[in-house]
C-alpha cells in the first residue's frame, strides 16, 4: 500500500460529531501519535520515519519524536537497525483485548450453533494471539463425538489449519519475522518444519480461502477451517468444524461440509461489516 493510499485510508475513517469546543479539547500530539499507529497498521509492513512523516503529513523530525515515544512505550517495534517501525506487542494486547470484548463471539455463536446442527460436528471460533491460536468459542456436537478443544485453549498457529488461514493474512516478510528462529514442534507429520514450509501452507490457504484437514492436528481427526473478515477485509478470526473422522461422512468432507463452513464464514463476516467486494487476500511480498 502506498503512502498516499495510507493517508487516504486514515482520512476516510469516520469520526464522531465534533463538539463545539473541539479545537480546545483536542490534544494534537496524541492525535498525531494515533495517526502514526494507523499508518503503520494500514501499510501492513514496517515503515521508515520518512514514510510515516509523508503518510500523515508531518515533518520527519516530528515523526521521529513520535516513533521514539511509541517505541519506548512498546506500541511500536523496530528492526535491528532501528530504521523502520512496525506495530509492537502493546498494540496487539489492546487489539486482542478489544476483539475478545467486542461482539464477535455474540455475533458468531448463533451461526456456529446452526453450523453444528447442520453438520452434527463441533464448531469453533478462534483468533491469532501472536504466534498462538486462541479459541474463543466452542460449540459441542449433540452426538457422542465431542471436541477435545475448550474455550481458552491455545495451540501453535503454525501447526493448525485455523492458524494457517489467519497467518495467510500476513505479508510474507511479516510472517518470517514473526517466526524467525522458531523451533517448530511437531503435532503430527503434517506440521511444517520451517518457515518456508509454513509459508507454502499459508499461500495455499490464501489461494483456496479454506483448509481441509485430514490428520493435520491429530491422527484420526478431520476439520475444515475458513477465515472471518471484518469490514476492512482483514482476517480477524477463523472458524472450523472439527472432530474424529468417525464424526464425518468423509465422502462429503470436500463438498457438503465445506459448503456449510464457507457459508457460515461468509455470514459471520457479513455481520461484521465485510462485503464480498472487499479484497480478502493479502500480498505475500
Closest to 129 measured CA to CA, from 160, 101, 166: 166
Cβ contacts of residue 5 below 8 Å, gap of 6+?
42
- Residue 136 is part of which domain span? 102-271
Of the candidates 51, 67, 93, which is a domain's last residue?
Answer: 93
Q: How far apart are CA 188 and CA 239, in angstroms?
A: 21
Mean pLDDT within 40-50: 87
Residue 149 lies in a domain: yes
Q: Tell me: the pLDDT tens digits for 154-213?
A: 888 999 999 999 999 888 788 888 888 888 888 888 888 989 899 999 999 999 999 998
pLDDT class for 52, splitting at 50, 70, 90?
very high
- The CATH code of the domain that includes 16 is 1.10.10.10
Burial 46-65 (b: 16+ CB within 10 A, else e): bbebebbbbbbebeeebbeb
Residue 57 lies in a domain: yes
Does the pLDDT value for residue 36 go beyond 60? yes
Q: How far apart are CA 42 and CA 52, in angstroms?
A: 11
**Total residue count of the chain as it appears in this document:** 285
What pTM, to 2 d.p., does this model score? 0.61
- The CATH code of the domain that includes 219 is 3.30.450.40
Cβ contacts of residue 268 below 8 Å, gap of 6+?
107, 108, 111, 228, 237, 239
Amino acid at each position: 500500500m502506498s503512502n498516499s493510499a495510507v493517508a487516504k485510508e486514515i482520512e476516510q475513517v469516520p469520526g464522531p460529531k465534533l463538539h463545539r469546543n473541539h479545537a480546545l479539547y483536542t490534544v494534537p500530539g496524541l492525535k498525531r501519535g494515533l495517526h502514526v499507529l494507523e499508518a503503520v497498521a494500514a501499510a501492513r509492513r514496517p515503515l521508515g520515519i520518512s514514510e510515516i512523516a509523508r503518510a500523515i503529513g508531518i515533518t520527519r523530525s516530528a515523526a521521529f519524536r513520535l516513533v521514539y515515544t511509541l517505541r519506548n512505550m512498546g506500541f511500536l517495534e523496530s528492526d535491528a537497525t532501528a530504521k523502520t517501525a512496525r506495530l509492537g506487542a502493546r498494540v496487539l494486547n489492546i487489539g486482542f483485548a478489544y476483539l475478545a470484548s467486542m461482539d464477535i463471539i455474540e455475533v458468531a455463536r448463533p451461526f456456529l450453533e446452526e453450523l453444528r446442527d447442520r453438520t452434527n460436528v463441533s464448531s469453533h471460533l478462534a483468533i491469532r494471539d501472536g504466534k498462538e491460536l486462541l479459541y474463543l468459542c466452542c460449540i459441542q456436537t449433540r452426538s457422542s463425538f465431542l471436541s477435545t478443544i475448550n474455550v481458552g485453549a491455545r495451540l501453535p498457529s503454525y501447526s493448525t489449519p485455523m492458524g494457517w488461514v489467519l497467518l495467510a493474512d500476513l505479508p510474507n516478510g511479516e510472517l518470517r519475522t514473526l517466526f524467525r528462529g522458531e523451533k517448530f514442534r511437531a503435532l503430527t507429520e503434517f506440521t511444517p518444519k520451517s518457515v518456508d514450509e509454513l509459508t507454502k501452507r499459508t499461500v495455499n490457504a490464501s489461494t483456496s480461502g479454506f483448509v481441509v484437514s485430514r490428520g493435520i492436528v491429530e491422527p484420526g481427526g478431520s476439520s475444515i477451517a475458513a477465515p472471518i473478515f471484518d469490514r476492512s477485509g482483514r482476517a480477524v478470526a477463523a472458524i472450523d468444524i472439527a472432530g474424529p473422522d468417525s464424526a464425518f461422512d468423509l465422502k462429503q468432507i470436500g463438498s457438503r461440509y465445506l459448503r456449510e463452513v464457507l457459508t457460515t464464514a461468509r455470514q459471520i463476516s457479513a455481520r461484521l461489516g465485510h462485503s464480498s467486494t472487499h479484497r480478502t487476500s493479502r500480498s505475500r511480498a
